[in-house]
């Protein structure tokens, strides 16, 4: 029994040796397999695996590409796409800035051209100027009229009216209120404006209330002093302004012509002003004839249709003045 078991063990060992020998022979016949994973090979370091590279510290200097080692060119590690986007947006911002500057330049050029074509008209006188401008805004309405009539110009219509101002008072205020008035269109500059391009002189205080000494406005000495002062005023106005227009007096009552107490004096001073305007070759607006022509037939009230008190214009009377002033200015050489 013992011999049989030994024989079997010996046969098993021999069988295992033969099997091992055959396997070795087969392995020699098969091609060699490279167990190195090419997917884990880094193109910059083909002799190192990815795990080995991760364990190494990052290089401090730019890495040289293998094909560019001879030309000594560096390989930028930073992404150039971000730089291109930044450059793109930077260019857009610069373009926007230049566009805004161009638009502002056009706007300032437009303003400069319009300021160059600016025209200033001054209404100057007593309460006959102050009331229609203060309560009925004929100066603003005249400005709006010329905005459409003369669209290539900026027309500014100012006024100064002092109640009870006679021609002597207006002469004393010429430089302060007409020739050297403060220019409110240039803030923070503290400078005076140039004389206006056109002035309309409109008043009646030399007749109503009349001379300060209480004498008659028809007195020869009073008339002579009036004319001399009027000449001095017109001399200065025509020397400083391109256009001078004379107007007034108008009414001291809306009763039919000749029935109002001061009608003779008003008619006389209207004639004096008309003759003076011819002498100076300037326009005269006969507001007295204008108002009487627009009173309704049969009107027998002292006031209420064209005036608030027989003298100062209401809305209807102010509209007549606006039209008369506009036509006189339109036919002048202000523009």
Predicted local distance difference test score (pLDDT) of residue 93: 83
Q: What is the pLDDT of residues 182-200, one digit of tens each?
A: 555 544 444 556 889 999 9
From residue 325, give the alpha-carbon distance in Å to each of 12, 96, 266: 141, 49, 20
CA angle 272, 278, 283 (to 5 degrees): 100
User: Would you place residue 321 in the very low, low, confident or very high pLDDT band (cuts 50, 70, 90)?
Assistant: very high
State percent of the chain over pLDDT 70.
73
Q: What is the pLDDT of residues 298-309, one digit of tens each?
A: 999 999 999 999
Mean residue pLDDT of the chain comes to 82
Predicted local distance difference test score (pLDDT) of residue 175: 87
Q: What is the pLDDT of residues 69-90, one digit of tens each?
A: 454 545 454 556 666 677 767 7
Predicted local distance difference test score (pLDDT) of residue 75: 46
Q: What is the pLDDT of residues 10-37, one digit of tens each?
A: 777 777 776 777 666 766 655 554 555 5
Do 201 and 247 contact (CB within 8 A), yes or no? yes
Please state, in angstroms and rounded to a whole number, the distance separating the CA atoms of residues 326 and 191: 29
What is the average pLDDT across 245-259? 97
Question: Helices in the chain by DSSP H: which ranges?
Answer: 2-29, 50-55, 80-116, 127-136, 138-149, 167-172, 174, 220-240, 263-280, 287-294, 315-330
Do 169 and 206 contact (CB within 8 A), yes or no? no
From residue 76, give the alpha-carbon distance in Å to each of 21, 73, 332: 57, 10, 78
Predicted local distance difference test score (pLDDT) of residue 19: 73
Nearest by Cα to 272 from 331, 280, 171: 280
Nearest by Cα to 238 from 191, 193, 201, 275: 201
Predicted local distance difference test score (pLDDT) of residue 12: 74
Tokens standing for 173? 């205020």
User: Would you place residue 276 in the very low, low, confident or very high pLDDT band (cuts 50, 70, 90)?
Assistant: very high
Do 265 and 211 contact (CB within 8 A), yes or no? no
Tokens standing for 214? 């209480």
Indicate the DSSP class of residue 143.
H
Contacts 24+ apart (CB under 8 A), 41-49: none
User: Would you place residue 143 in the very low, low, confident or very high pLDDT band (cuts 50, 70, 90)?
Assistant: very high
Backbone angles phi, psi at 326, to 5 degrees: -60, -45
Q: Is the predicted pLDDT of residue 226 greater than 70, yes or no?
A: yes
């Amino acid at each position: 029994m013992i011999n049989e078991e030994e024989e079997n063990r010996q046969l098993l060992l021999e069988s295992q040796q033969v099997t091992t020998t055959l396997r070795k022979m087969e392995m020699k016949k098969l091609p060699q397999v490279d167990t190195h994973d090419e997917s884990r090979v880094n193109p910059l370091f083909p002799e190192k695996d990815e795990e080995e590279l991760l364990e190494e510290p990052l290089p401090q200097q730019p890495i040289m590409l293998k094909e560019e080692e001879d030309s000594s060119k560096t390989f930028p590690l930073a992404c150039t796409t971000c730089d291109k986007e930044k450059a793109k947006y930077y260019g857009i911002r610069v373009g926007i800035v230049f566009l805004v500057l161009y638009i502002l330049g056009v706007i300032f050029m437009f303003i400069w051209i319009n300021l160059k074509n600016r025209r200033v008209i001054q209404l100057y006188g007593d309460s006959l100027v102050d009331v229609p401008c203060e309560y009925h805004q004929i100066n603003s309405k005249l400005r709006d009229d010329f905005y459409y009539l003369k669209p290539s110009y900026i027309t500014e219509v100012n006024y100064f009216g002092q109640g009870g101002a006679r021609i002597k008072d207006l002469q004393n205020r010429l430089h302060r209120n007409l020739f050297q008035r403060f220019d409110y269109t240039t803030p923070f500059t503290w400078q005076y404006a140039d004389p206006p391009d056109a002035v309309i002189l409109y008043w009646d205080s030399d007749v109503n209330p009349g001379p300060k000494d209480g004498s008659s406005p028809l007195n020869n000495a009073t008339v002579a002093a009036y004319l001399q002062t009027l000449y001095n005023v017109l001399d200065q106005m025509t020397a400083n302004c391109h256009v001078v227009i004379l107007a007034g007096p108008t009414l001291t009552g809306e009763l039919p012509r000749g029935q109002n107490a001061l009608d003779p004096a008003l008619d006389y001073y209207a004639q004096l002003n008309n003759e003076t305007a011819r002498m100076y070759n300037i326009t005269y607006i006969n507001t007295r004839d204008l108002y009487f022509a627009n009173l309704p037939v049969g009107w027998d009230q002292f006031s209420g249709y064209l005036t608030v008190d027989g003298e100062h214009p209401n809305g209807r009377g102010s509209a007549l003045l606006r039209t008369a002033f506009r036509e006189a200015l339109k036919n002048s050489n202000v523009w």
